[in-house]
Chain A
Amino acid sequence: MALSLREYDRACLAGDLGPACQFAMSILVRMAEIYEAEELIDISRAHIDSSLYQGDATLEFAERLVSMDAKVSVPSTLNVSGVDEHGWREWSVPPDWAEKARRQMVAYESMGCEPIWTCTPYQTATKPEFGQQIAWGESNAVAYANSVLGARTEQYPDLLDICAAITGRVPAAGLHLTENRAGELLLRLVDVPEAVQDDDSFGAVLGHLMGKLSGTHVPVIEGITVEMGEDQLKSVAAGGCSSGCVTLFHIVGLTPEAPTLEAAFHGREPLQTFEISLDDLREARRDLSTTEGERLDIVVLGSPHFSLAEFRRLAPLLQGRRCHSELQFLVTSNRTMVKLAREAGLLAPLEEFGGKITVDTCIITTPMLSDDVETLMTNSAKYAYYSPGLLDVEVAFGSLEDCVQSAIEGKVVRGSSPWDD
């Protein structure tokens, strides 16, 4: 069936609402045909990943929109930027990169976007509501909004998210539609001890495994018997869209569209069932590390961006201790969270420990680490997945406690944990 457009859509296309709306709508209409959508629908909010500088093309795209006087028509927040605009000189960011990344930030701010500069808009700004039609970029945020909050968004790639924000319209397709939100694969945990489910690495490991198993399908996880908090669910979301492309998952009894197994599958049968044992999870956990060696140059926490609750968990681990002199300890977060953490007295222990903070960006979105960094340790599945390729480093994945202890000793160390054989 052909795409049918409303009067507003046609007015945009005809240029009646200015060149920016015309440009954005022409891209949306071409995409709607690829999605095989029958119409466009309204969105009431957007989160824009296009603001991340990744070379001159992204800047030229942004400045072309500005030259057309583009303005967003729905409340729109901004994802991570390509530079920590105040702190970049302490690191190895080339000045040319910093200047262009800054220009790109200014471009999107001038379109009326809210500069929260974070990959965790669901922790930093108002949460979208259940059932709300939104257009979000940033893979972990998309997975979180769909899965944990029950808002409805496709994963909008860079360059399309801003077109949706300018016009307030998206193709009626994918996860905007109820029928596409049904579970397809069953991931059933079998005899996974609660001590493992409660471990702070569990969300990241489960997400990593979920991404590898799910392909392009919607997974449903059954067998979680503990409470999973916001930061654990954030780790599941980020892990699943790094090793794979999970943009919606359901956890039976926990996420809003999965009060029961039947509800999660909309009454249908799973296409496939995977039984997940403790050994499968252990293997996924090992898979997040690329090295078993002890050498260590930097410990990095905060992908997705560190939350206030995570600062609160970290602070007592650092109290009265000191980072090894030949190693860096870095937390990546955003300006809002860091301000809250400072007001709560949670940054003093980090600073006394010898740790640093980078805001509004992270180690894989700005070229801040020097070439001397060869081995990195993290508790983040997303950092663990992307760092070897983007930064040409070896990665050791570990718990928050192991990350801190390793920073103190200056080498990768691992304490006893519920994951042990």
Chain B
Amino acid sequence: MGRLIQGRVLVAGEVGGEALVGREPLSFWGGYDQFSGEIIDRRHSLAGAMAAGKILAVPFTKGSSTTTAVLLEAVRQGNGPAAVLTIGVDTFLALASIVADEMYGKPFPVIGLTAEDFASLETGDRLVISRDGSIEVVDSG
């Protein structure tokens, strides 16, 4: 058993996977390649990392309104993240997941965390997300 943290459910779901954690905000349009699942914003610390299938943690989304369109296309192509964790409430990510549900029946969990819980996550941690927003964390180190 790892430690447990509790987030606020924006879009519910159950999934387990490896964490990919960025400390700076990300615009998915211009930052996430929907055709491959790679982080492409060269000014971001996760540049070059493959986010498809990972549990992606970024503090919040920034930049373009097209972020949601990019995520929806990524989900359609099977290149989306398995879940996204943020600090607080991120309406762009929630919308992308809700529309992915309405269009393709494929929502991904979107969970808002406290800044402290977010800061405790590291890339490579194994996470198991439950429908109630509790997250089991098995630290990588």
Q: Once the chains bind, are A31 and B42 in contact (CB under 8 Å)?
A: no
Decide if B5 is an interface residue (CB 8 Å cutoff).
no
State the CA gap A50–B66 with chains docked (Å): 8
Count of B residues near A, CB < 8 Å?
40
Q: Quick check: is A139 within 8 A (CB to CB) of the other chain?
A: yes
A157–B28 alpha-carbon span in the complex (Å): 12
Stretch at the interface among B14-22, B93-101, B124-132: B93-101
Is B51 interfacial (CB-CB < 8 Å)?
Answer: no
Interface string of A116-146 (1 = CB under 8 A from B): 0000000000000000000001110010000
Give chain A residues whose Cβ lies under 8 Å from the Cβ of B66. Answer: 49, 52, 54, 157-158
Is B140 located at the chain interface by the 8 A CB criterion? no
Q: Which residues from 13 to 47 on chain A have a C-beta closer than 8 Å to any C-beta of chain B?
A: 23, 26-27, 30-31, 34-36
Please give, as numbers and ranges, the residues of chain B lying within 8 Å of A260 by CB-CB distance.
none
Contact B62 A31 (CB under 8 A): no
Contact of A27 among B41, B64, B69, B102 (CB under 8 A): B102
Closest B residue by C-beta to A141: B65
Q: Which of B61, B88, B94 contacts A31 (CB 8 A)?
A: B94
- What separation, in Å, do the CA atoms of A369 and B69 have in the docked complex? 22
A159 touches B42 (CB 8 A): no
- Which among A196-204, A316-324, A384-392 touches the partner chain? A384-392
A389 near B30: Cβ-Cβ < 8 Å? yes
Are B68 and A244 in contact, CB atoms less than 8 angstroms apart? no
Over the window 43-65 of chain A, the binary record of Cβ atoms lying under 8 Å from chain B Cβ atoms (1 yes, 0 no) is: 00000011010111110110010
Residue among A160, A161, A241, A389 having the largest count of chain B Cβ atoms under 10 Å: A389
Residues of A within 8 A of B42 (CB): 290, 388-389
Q: Within the complex, which residue of A64, A215, A216, A388 is in contact with B103, where a contact is CB–CB below 8 Å?
A: A64
Contacts of A242 in B (CB 8 A): 27, 63-64
Q: CA A35 – CA B92 in complex, angstroms?
A: 11
Within 8 A of A (CB), among B60-93: 60-70, 72-73, 75-77, 88-89, 91-92
Chain A contacts with B in 371-390, Cβ cutoff 8 A: 385-386, 388-390
State in angstroms the CA–CA spacing of A290 and B47 once bound together.
15
A207 CB–B CB distance under 8 Å: no
Given A161-B65, A244-B25, A389-B40, answer yes or no on A54-B91 (Cβ-Cβ < 8 Å): no
When the two chains form their complex, are residues B60 and A58 in contact, meaning their CB atoms are under 8 A apart? no
Q: How distant is the Cα of A138 from the Cα of B103 in the complex, in angstroms?
A: 23
Residues of A with C-beta under 8 A to B89: 34-36
Asked if B43 lies at the interface with its beta carbon under 8 angstroms from chain A, I say: yes
Are B30 and A159 in contact (CB-based, < 8 A)? no
- Measured CB to CB, the closest approach of chain A to B85, in angstroms, equals 15
User: Given A35-B91, A389-B31, does the pair A155, B65 have CB atoms closer than 8 Å?
Assistant: yes
B30 and A50 contacting across the interface, CB-CB below 8 Å: no
Contacts of A215 in B (CB 8 A): 25, 60
Residue B29 at the A interface, CB < 8 A?
Answer: yes
Q: In the bound complex, what is the Cα–Cα distance between A31 and B97 (angstroms)?
A: 11
* B10 on interface, CB distance cutoff 8 Å: yes
The answer, among A160, A364, A385, for a CB contact under 8 Å with B68, is: A160
- Given contact pairs A34-B89, A61-B103, A158-B65, enumerate 9 new A-B contacts (beta carbons under 8 Å): A52-B66, A57-B69, A61-B72, A139-B63, A215-B60, A241-B62, A241-B64, A245-B60, A389-B42
* 5 A–B contacts from the bound complex (CB under 8 Å): A52-B69, A55-B73, A58-B69, A157-B68, A158-B69
